Amino acid sequence: MANELTLLDHPLVRHHLGVVRDRRTPPAVFRQTVYSLTTLLAYEATQDLRTAPCDIVTPIAPARVERLAGRIAVVPILRAGLGMTPAIMDLLPEAEIWHLGFYRDDATLQPVEYYKKLPPGNPADVGLIIDPMLATGGSCLAAIAALRHWGVPRLKLCALLAAPEGIARVQVAAPDTQIYVCAVDERLNENAYIVPGLGDAGDRLSNAVAH
């Protein structure tokens, strides 16, 4: 659906967001809480995946069940997206993982690609782009463009936090991309960081914060 934004509203989401936002949260707890939030986010983002009937035999009798149909590509944006990958792969163990790497040029605030691992041809049916932060939207739009070039027909973008500026930019430039977020924060600051945000998710996941 064009311009679709799903904002999670659940007590567990609000609780876990409070933990990841807290600067005092240690890295191990931060990582575990990101896992929990990603699980809740992925549950919402996968509600409209196609299934197909399948005949199996239980320990008691034959039965007709449903299984996911089509190929799903999980695409973390390096490096912070890696922190969300385990939770999604636990829910979608048969999904493919492909990586895209971007860093933000401090002068222009534009994404610079440094790594792209997508196979030639034979695109997946659904692409699930994951990044903890949707700030300016630059890296996410670059990822969307890469998956469109690959030929993926359905794209979903999952982020823990988003700024209104980033959401608006993605909705204008990629209106057929579904966006799922746990919270929409106030704004971006002069350095294009989300306010109040949670700091640098990649650094906190990697325990690379200055002490």
pLDDT of residue 1 exceeding 50: no
- Judge contact between 45 and 156, C-beta under 8 A: yes
* % of the chain exceeding 90 in pLDDT: 79
pLDDT of residue 192: 87
pLDDT of residue 203: 87
Choice among 8-12, 16-20, 114-118 with the minimum mean pLDDT: 114-118
pLDDT of residue 93: 94
Q: Measured between alpha carbons, how far is 198 from 200 in angstroms, rounded to an integer?
A: 7
pLDDT of residue 3: 59
DSSP tag of 81: G
Supply the pTM of this predicted model: 0.91
pLDDT of residue 169: 95
Mean pLDDT across 55-65 = 97
Q: Which of 140, 133, 172, 132 is nearest to 156 (CA)?
A: 140
Q: What is the C-alpha R_g of the chain? A: 18
Q: Which of 124, 27, 123, 126 is nearest to 83 (CA)?
A: 27
pLDDT of residue 210: 55
pLDDT of residue 209 exceeding 70: no
pLDDT of residue 81: 92
Cα angle at 113 between 189 and 88, to 5 degrees? Answer: 80
pLDDT of residue 117: 82
- Identify the residue with better confidence: 19 or 103: 19
Q: Which two tokens stand for residue 81?
A: 């997206």
- Identify the residue with better confidence: 29 or 109: 29
pLDDT of residue 65 exceeding 90: yes
- Identify the residue with better confidence: 118 or 109: 118
Give the mean pLDDT of the chain.
Answer: 92
| pLDDT tens-digit map of 66-79 | 999 999 999 999 88
Give domain limits for the chain: 5-51+64-205
pLDDT of residue 2: 47
CATH topology of domain 5-51+64-205: Rossmann fold (3.40.50)
Q: Measured between alpha carbons, how far is 204 from 189 in angstroms, rounded to an integer?
A: 19
pLDDT of residue 171 exceeding 90: yes
Q: Which residues contact residue 76 at a Cβ distance below 8 angstroms, ignoring those fewer than 6 apart?
A: 82, 84, 85, 97, 99, 100, 130, 131
| pLDDT tens-digit map of 140-160 | 999 999 999 999 999 999 999
